[in-house]
Amino acid sequence: MRKLSSTNYYNQTFLEDKCALNELIHLLSKRWLTEVMFSIEEGNSRFSSLKEDLKHISDNILADRLKLLEQYKLIVRNNHLGEVPARVEYSLTETGEKLSDLLGGLCNFAENQMEFPS
């Protein structure tokens, strides 16, 4: 639960305060996060179906990414209360869909106009 080593922490918050883009990119850079978003967009709404679709993801990472996406209001969590076994469904918010579109454009750019070294 500790953090902030002076400059390291300071610089990160400085950059995030300066421009929201830095905070967004920091979020997007978390491994699997965009994949989880795209997988939900494609119709995988359950924890188990996401886990199956993203073959190599682990439970704790998937749970963490879902929590993050929910906190940033990019997805909504629909808990079907009281059902046993538990049933939860996720879906994109409007903001989430908009972001997904923008990332589509960026993806197209990355694949067609960028040259990656080695």
Q: What 3 state SS string does the chain have?
A: CCCCCCHHHHHHHHHHHHCHHHHHHHHHCCCCHHHHHHHHHCCCCCHHHHHHHCCCCCHHHHHHHHHHHHHCCCEEEEEECCCCCCEEEEEECHHHHHHHHHHHHHHHHHHHHCCCCC
Residue 72 partner contact from a second copy, DNA, none using kind-dependent CB cut-offs of 5 to 8 Å:
a second copy
Count interface residues toward a second copy (CB under 8 A). Answer: 40
Binders of a second copy in range 62-81 (CB under 8 A): 71-73
- Contacts to DNA by CB under 7 A: 2-9, 11-12, 26, 29-32, 46-49, 56-61, 63-64, 66-67, 77, 85-88
41: contact with a second copy by CB under 8 A: no
Binding site for a second copy (CB under 8 A): 7, 10-12, 14-15, 19-26, 28-29, 31-32, 34-35, 56, 71-73, 95, 98-99, 102-103, 105-107, 109-111, 113-117
